[in-house]
Amino acid sequence: MSRLPQWLGGLGSGLVRLGERLEARKATAEAQPAAGSTPGAASGAVATPVPAPAESAATPVPLSAASPSAPGAAPAGPAGPASGPVPDPATGSGAGAVPPSVPVDRAAPGARPDPVAAVPWGVRVAAEVGWRLLVLAGTLWVLMRVISAVRLVVLAFVAGLLITALLQPTVALLKRRGVPRGLATALTFLSGFVVMGLVGWFVVWQVTENLDDLSKQVQHGITELKRWLLNSPFHVTQGQINNIADKLSEAIGTSTKDITSAGIEGVQVIIEVLTGILLAMFSTLFLLYDGPRIWQWLLKLVPEAAREGVAGAGPRAWATLTAYVRGTVIVALIDAIFIGIGLYFLKVPMYVPLAVFIFLFAFIPLVGAVVSGALAVVVALVTRDVFTAAMVLVVVLAVQQIEGHVLQPFILGRAVRVHPLAVVLAVAAGSMTAGIGGAVVAVPLVAVTNTVVGYLRAYAKEETPPEVSS
């Protein structure tokens, strides 16, 4: 019985300690930092909330509510130990103030990658280039369709532009001599078209005057050609020659309807040619008189950001076109004179009209020289003999070689020099689009485009800041 009071005293003290622990756990549970408050330090202490900074979106780290040295302090919660003592809200005592919260950066959960970043870089580059090429191809196709629909107007204007490039230096020379602009334009325009009209009339007159004599010489030349073939080492028989002649007669007989329809269509062609000539004349007249003002008006249609570059490219393009036209005229004139002299000494009939044809066909690069030279050789073959035709061929080839390797590089210069592959492709595309007129216009168009693109590229490099260009 003497041990019963001791046992009861120990049980009572144990119950007291158990109650204190339950109260401490209850206080700790109420002081959890779920709402941003600091846990209590002593029994029954109220947690002091620490608000997060307004400018930071990160979750603040809560601070402990009591000093770790205080007796009876509760264990630290999940937020971790405090960085300094917090004053007791009940007594107002404590050492130190609450330091500011420290934001913690966290990545946004569940974020998906950008789809553009998933596409390979090469595919993106190909796509960017591809749709731009499609836009350019579509624009070019629409432009070609429009040009084909108004082909006569476009060719007439381009012909007037080429004639203006040829006659404009004369107008400038007369203006420098004190002649008024209107009078200088009228004199140059009339003299230029009078000279071209006289040249055309002379060619037609020479052909009509020598047509009868030419037909007799053609028949004699065909007879001589048959005799030469029979005696040649090619072993051609009379039956083979007669067979070829019969087939030619049959082809001409079956093509009579086509020839008749072509003759009917020829009237329409003549009307179109006359209309084109009138349009070219009016275009030349107004370009000679109002060329600078027309150019200033065209510049107003260009966006202001690109106007300065286009204004600088225009005079260079015109200088290239002028140099091309004058150089081509000089080269064609030299070809016609020297080949005409060769035809005269070889006693080929109609050497003057043939020389004029050589001059006109020289404006068609590559193709014109071949066609005019072949025409001269055929005329020499059917009117003279095989030896004369061979000598004409030698003269034509010699003059054309001198033209290609000496005259064109010296007269035309580097400003209008175009690669032969570009010339061939341009002539082919121009002839397919607009016939002979397109073949004539193709090469100067390529030369002008080359000059403009080169200037704009250099202009862009000079105007672009270094940080952008790099």
Tokens of 230: 């029979």
**Crossing angle (nearest 10°) for helices 304-345 and 151-176:** 90
Q: What is the Cα–Cα distance from 416 to 245, expressed in whole angstroms?
A: 48
Per-residue pLDDT tens for 322-378?
888 888 888 888 888 999 898 888 888 788 888 888 888 888 777 777 888 888 888
Q: What is the Cα–Cα distance from 187 to 171, expressed in whole angstroms?
A: 8
Per-residue pLDDT tens for 24-79?
877 777 776 544 444 444 444 444 444 444 444 444 444 443 344 444 444 444 44
6, 170, 282, 453 from 298: Cα distances, Å: 119, 24, 19, 18
Q: Which residues of 354-386 are buried (b: 16+ CB within 10 A; e: fewer)?
A: bbbbbbbbbbbbeebbeebbeebbebbbbbbee
Q: Which amino acid is at 434?
A: A
- Determine how many CB atoms are found less than 10 A away from the CB of residue 84: 13
Closest CA to 61 of 107, 32, 101, 106: 101
Q: What is the Cα–Cα distance from 198 to 196, expressed in whole angstroms?
A: 5
Q: Supply the pTM of this predicted model.
A: 0.60
Per-residue pLDDT tens for 180-235?
988 989 999 998 888 888 887 887 787 777 766 666 666 666 776 777 777 766 66
Residue 372 half-sphere exposure toward CB, CA atoms < 13 A: 30
Tokens of 360: 């006109």
Q: What is the Cα–Cα distance from 263 to 257, expressed in whole angstroms?
A: 10
Q: In 346-419, which residue ranges form alpha helices assigned H by DSSP? A: 351-361, 367-383, 386-402, 408-411
**8 A C-beta contact, residue 298 and residue 175:** no
Mean residue pLDDT across the chain: 74
